[in-house]
């Protein structure tokens, strides 16, 4: 670096420091989705053209479902569709006229087996390019390019990792079969894990392993499918019914429910089932649905010890049990936010309608997330805690949706019109 | 669980005479149970006699009726036995005490008005309470297995109250099967 460049970079230092602060403060009281225009990709060459539609679907879904943007309808755009990607060639007043505060333009090209994309983010008010990113992926995994681009843009605006590169698991119901599937966060690239029979309550571990409950030996037992493809049965006590495996955040321990006699209790063990330890002990009650706190020190769960199923928290050794929910008589499926502050849960009301809520772990403050949209169940937080994946019957059958952690921007995952999908879990 | 796969013909006859179904509990509860006198029971006098001799039980009709256990139904979220079901379980326990070769599985079920995971536990609790009741009435605990299907195997998709249930499926113990051959 020569002296002039050093001088210039010192001059720019305060600006660079400022740029580290998030453009969009998601947690802030003044949060509002940023009005953003994203143009169709500028496609270079015939090969890239073949992937363009798929890439654009994934890219636009990511931006829309992220909850941080108000993505403007392309049909309303006034700018010349052939407008280029350089700031000098863009007529920013046209973008201001349609209400855009940010403008995203991107291009696609294919070189050999590699799909390459470049995106630029412009501030419509200042007419300046704020951010630029280049991403690539094998052409056979074209959607990955979109998710990587959208992730870079999300990080630019929030200084946080996006959920766009994460994976989900869920149960797909077909006739009498319940099968475990894994998919990208948008439900695409779905892979079937089990083949027929009753397989329930899947849970993703931090290493990509999926744990689930299966009746493949006649009675429900716990299984773990490792990323390499091998499946192991977790040994639990003979004659007891083990269900609902849940991995600790570091992946080293599991929590699950064990039913015997007239009661169901929560147990923890090492990831392979060794050293099992019983955490709850209510002689006749039901204790189930364990969910780990992000530091692995506490577990949220459901217990009917007070007469109806309610959400409780306890320390990971079973001590310090505290009831968290008090409204209604059916509060279920707690999921502890990776940010630590909230637990999302399913509540059934007196009309037998199911809706989603969060409860603040420290204050006990309850916030409603869904209302009057048929049944909404089984919340699962995104790895960054900003979004919640859940099931809803608002379109008929049980489908997967995402929304923000405060219940806004409820969006169906694409391409699931004829499926019945249940009990999703979002990989952390 | 499905005994029918491995049963030889004469044993099958015994099972039918008893009014037992080794196969899915569904068939036991949704189809009329064959009676010893009515067709199409593929029984022969010799197997009936052999059975009566083994169990020391002369009234096959009565046993059939007692073991033809319809499901026990529960109210929403509940695992409490109704009074009439307690009476019914007493008759079942008596029949089981008289037939030590018969084993049973109690499967617990719920309606869909609940979450998958809690319903598995609730179904287990329903089956567990039925089992405990039979054990208190003198049926050996090792003869009664329990399994929960939660909301995954509804009896009737259209009628939630028909799905909150505990079902029975009966089979002959290994010993009894050897005896029948």
Rounded CA Rg of chain A? 24
Q: Give the whole-angstrom CA distance, residue A19 versus residue A169.
A: 36
Query: Checking DSSP bridges between strand A253-260 and strand A263-270, what pairing results, if any?
Result: antiparallel
Poorest-pLDDT segment among A17-31, A108-122, B54-68, B153-167: B54-68
Asked whether residue A173 falls in the same domain as residue A247, the answer is: yes
> At CB < 8 Å, which residues of chain B contact A?
1, 77, 79, 113-118, 120-122, 124-125, 128-129, 132, 146-150, 152-153
Mutation pick from B117, B142, B143, B148 vs chain A, by most beta carbons of A within 10 Å, is B117
Q: Which residues of B touch A176 (CB under 8 A)?
A: 153
CB atoms closer than 10 angstroms to residue B39: 7
pLDDT for position B157: 85
**Which structural domain, as residue segments, surrounds residue A284?**
167-425
Q: Which of B153, B124, B160, B150 is nearest to A352 (CA)?
A: B160
A14 assigned to some structural domain: no
Tens digits of residue pLDDT in A174-183: 999 999 999 9
Mark whether A221 and A361 lie in a shared domain.
Answer: yes
Residues 6+ apart with CB under 8 A from A130: A23, A102, A121, A122, A123, A156
Q: Return the H-helix or E-strand segment holding B70.
A: none
Strands in A241-247's sheet, in edge-to-edge order, are A241-247, A253-260, A263-270, A277-278
The answer to whether position A235 is within a domain reads yes
CA distance B88 to chain A (A): 20
A171 with A135, same domain: the answer is no
Name the residue among B79, B129, B152 with its Cβ closest to that of A198: B152
Mean pLDDT calculated for residue range A305-309: 96
In angstroms, the separation between the Cα of residue A426 and the nearest Cα of chain B is 17
A378 in contact with B at a CB cutoff of 8 Å? yes
Torsion of CA B54, B60, B65, B70, to 10 degrees: 40
Distance from CA of A199 to the nearest CA of B (A): 10
What does each C-alpha distance from A269 to A205, A221, B17 come to in angstroms?
A: 14, 15, 48
Instruction: Assess whether pLDDT exceeds 80 at residue B77.
Output: yes
Q: Which of A109, A124, A158 is the last residue of a domain?
A: A158
Residue closest to A69 by CA, chosen among A106, A120, A131, A24: A24
A63 within some domain: yes
Mean pLDDT within B92-101: 94
Which residue does chain B place closest to A178, by CA atoms? B152
Judge whether A219 is closer than 8 Å to chain B, CB to CB.
yes
Cβ atoms of B151 and B109 within 8 Å: the answer is yes
A260 and A390, same domain (yes or no)? yes
Report chain A's mean pLDDT, rounded to a whole number.
94
Confidence at B38, pLDDT banded by 50, 70, 90: very low
Nearest residue of B to residue A286, measured between CA atoms: B121
Is A45 a domain residue?
yes
Is it the case that residue B134 has pLDDT exceeding 80? yes
Which residues on adjacent β-strands are paired with residue A402?
A389, A411
Residue B117's contacts (CB-CB under 8 Å, 6 or more residues apart) are A200, A201, A243, A244, A257, A288, A289, A302, A332, A333, A423, B150
Whether A5 maps to a domain, the answer reads no
Best to test chain B binding among A178, A241, A309 (most B CBs inside 10 Å): A241
pLDDT classification of A283: cutoffs 50, 70, 90: confident
Q: Tell me the helix, strand and coil percentages in chain A, rounded to 5.
A: 15, 40, 45
Give, in order, the Cα–Cα distances in Å from B73 to each of A260, B105, B161.
Answer: 21, 16, 8
pLDDT digits (tens, 9 = 90+) for B104-129: 999 999 999 999 999 999 999 999 99
Q: Are residues A116 and A252 in the same domain?
A: no
The pLDDT assigned to A6 comes to: 53
Domain boundary at A158, A193, A223, which?
A: A158
Q: Over range B78-97, report the average pLDDT.
A: 95
A374 token code pair: 């048929």
Distance spanning both ends of chain B, measured CA to CA: 19
Res B181: pLDDT? 52
Q: Do A107 and A224 lie in a common domain?
A: no
Cβ within 8 Å of B, A 251-280: 257, 259-264
A178 touches chain B (CB under 8 A): yes
Please tell me the predicted confidence (pLDDT) of residue B55: 45
**Residue in chain A nearest B77 by alpha carbon:** A308
Q: How far is A287 from chain B (nearest CA, A)?
A: 8
Phi, psi of A242 (to 5 degrees): -100, 130
Same domain as A359, residue A336: yes
Q: Is the pLDDT of residue A45 over 70?
A: yes
Chain B residues in contact with A178 by the CB 8 A cut-off are 152
What span, in angstroms and rounded, lies between the C-alpha atoms of A220 and A214? 5
Residues A192 and A338 in one domain: yes
User: Which residue in the set B115, B124, B132 is minimally distant from A264, CB to CB?
Assistant: B124
CA distance B125 to A200: 19
What is the pLDDT, as a whole number, of residue B94? 94
Residue A107: give its domain's CATH number.
3.40.50.10070
Q: Which of A178, A201, A262 is nearest residue B117 as measured by Cβ atoms?
A: A201
Counting Cα atoms < 13 Å in the Cβ hemisphere of A18 gives 6
* Closest CA–CA distance from residue B138 to any residue of chain A (Å): 16
The CA distance from B117 to the nearest CA of chain A, in Å, is 7
User: For residue A407, what are its two tokens?
Assistant: 């219940």
- The beta-carbon contacts of B162-165 under 8 Å, at least 24 apart in sequence, are B162/B73, B163/B109, B163/B110, B163/B111, B163/B112, B164/B73, B164/B74, B164/B75, B164/B76, B164/B78, B164/B109, B164/B110, B164/B111, B164/B126, B165/B71, B165/B72, B165/B73, B165/B74, B165/B108, B165/B109, B165/B126
Domain count, chain A: 2
Q: What is the CATH number of the domain that holds A280?
A: 2.120.10.30
Which candidate from B114, B121, B146 shows the least CB-CB separation from A264? B121
A371 is written with which tokens? 């209302």
Both A229 and A259 in one domain: the answer is yes
Residues A53 and A132 in one domain: yes
Q: What is the DSSP letter of A286?
A: B
- Asked whether residue A237 is domain-assigned, the answer is yes
DSSP state string for A221-234: EEEEE-TTS-EEEE
pTM metric for this prediction: 0.87
Distance from C-alpha of B134 to C-alpha of B169, rounded to nearest angstrom = 14
Average pLDDT over residues B60-66: 53
Residue in A204, A157, A148 with CA at minimum distance from that of residue A180: A204
- Of A105, A128, A158, the one marking the end of a domain is A158
Contact criterion met (CB < 8 Å) for B120 and A200:
yes
A197 within domain boundaries: yes
**A253 and A150 in a common domain:** no
Is residue A27 domain-resident? no
How does strand A287-292 pair with strand A177-184?
unpaired
How much is the average pLDDT of B81-100?
94
Determine contact, residues A173/A391, Cβ cutoff 8 Å: no
Q: What confidence tens digit (pLDDT) does each residue in A345-378 have?
A: 999 999 999 999 999 999 999 999 999 999 999 9
E-strand spans in chain B?
A: 72-73, 102-109, 144-150, 165-172
Tell whether A336 and A396 lie within a shared domain: yes
Kindly report the number of other CB atoms within 10 A of residue A108's CB atom.
Answer: 25
Helix, strand, or coil (residue A202): strand
């Amino acid at each position: 670096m020569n002296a002039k460049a050093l001088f210039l970079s010192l001059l720019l230092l305060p600006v660079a420091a400022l740029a580290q602060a998030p453009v969009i403060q998601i947690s802030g009281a003044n949060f509002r989705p940023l009005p953003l225009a994203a143009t169709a990709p500028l496609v270079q060459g015939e090969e890239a053209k073949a992937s363009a539609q798929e890439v654009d679907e994934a890219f636009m879904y990511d931006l829309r479902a992220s909850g941080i943007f108000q993505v403007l309808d392309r049909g309303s755009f006034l700018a010349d569709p052939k407008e280029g990607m350089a700031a000098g060639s863009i007529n920013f007043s046209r973008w201001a006229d349609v209400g855009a505060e940010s403008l995203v333009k991107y291009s696609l090209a294919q070189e050999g087996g590699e799909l390459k994309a470049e995106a630029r983010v412009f501030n419509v008010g200042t007419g300046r390019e704020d951010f630029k990113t280049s991403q690539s992926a094998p052409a056979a995994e074209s959607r990955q390019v979109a998710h990587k681009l959208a992730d870079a843009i999300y990080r630019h605006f929030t200084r946080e990792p996006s959920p766009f590169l994460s994976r989900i698991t869920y149960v797909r119901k077909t006739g009498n079969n319940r099968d475990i599937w894994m998919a990208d966060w948008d439900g695409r690239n779905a892979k079937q894990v089990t083949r027929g029979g009753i397989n329930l309550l899947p849970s993703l571990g931090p290493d990509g392993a999926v744990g689930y409950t299966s009746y493949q030996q006649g009675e429900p037992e716990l299984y773990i499918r490792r990323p390499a493809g091998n499946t192991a049965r977790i040994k639990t006590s003979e004659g007891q019914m083990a269900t609902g495996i849940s991995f600790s955040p570091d992946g080293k321990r599991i929590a699950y429910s064990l039913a015997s006699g007239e009661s169901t209790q929560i147990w923890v063990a090492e990831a392979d089932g060794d050293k099992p330890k019983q955490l709850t002990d209510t002689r006749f009650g039901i204790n189930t649905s364990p969910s780990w706190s992000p530091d692995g020190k506490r577990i949220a769960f459901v217990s009917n010890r007070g007469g109806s199923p309610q959400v409780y928290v306890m320390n990971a050794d079973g001590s310090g049990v505290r009831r968290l929910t008090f409204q209604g008589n059916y509060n279920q499926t707690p999921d502890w936010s990776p940010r630590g502050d909230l637990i999302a849960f399913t509540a059934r009301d007196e009309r037998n309608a199911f809706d989603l809520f969060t409860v603040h772990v420290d204050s006990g403050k309850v916030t409603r997330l869904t209302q009057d949209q048929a049944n909404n169940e089984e919340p699962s937080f995104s790895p960054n805690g900003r979004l919640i994946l859940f099931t809803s019957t608002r379109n008929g059958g049980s489908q997967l949706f995402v929304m923000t952690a405060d219940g806004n921007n409820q969006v169906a995952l694409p391409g699931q019109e004829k499926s019945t999908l249940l009990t999703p879990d979002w990989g952390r | 669980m499905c005994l029918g796969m491995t049963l030889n013909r004469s044993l099958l006859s015994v099972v039918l005479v008893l009014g037992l179904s080794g196969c899915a509990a569904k068939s036991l509860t949704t189809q009329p149970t064959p009676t010893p006198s009515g067709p199409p029971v593929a029984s022969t006098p010799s197997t009936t006699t052999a059975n009566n001799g083994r169990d020391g039980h002369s009234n096959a009709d009565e046993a059939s009726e007692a073991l033809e256990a319809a499901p026990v139904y529960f109210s929403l979220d509940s695992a409490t036995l109704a009074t009439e079901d307690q009476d019914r379980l007493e008759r079942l326990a008596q029949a089981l005490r008289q037939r030590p070769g018969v084993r049973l599985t109690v499967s617990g079920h719920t309606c869909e008005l609940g979450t998958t995971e809690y319903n598995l536990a609730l179904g287990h609790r329903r089956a567990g309470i039925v089992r405990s009741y039979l054990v208190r009435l003198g049926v050996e605990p090792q003869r009664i297995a329990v399994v929960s299907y939660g909301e995954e195997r509804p009896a009737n998709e259209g009628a939630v109250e028909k799905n909150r249930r505990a079902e029975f499926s009966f089979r002959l113990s290994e010993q009894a099967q050897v005896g029948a051959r």
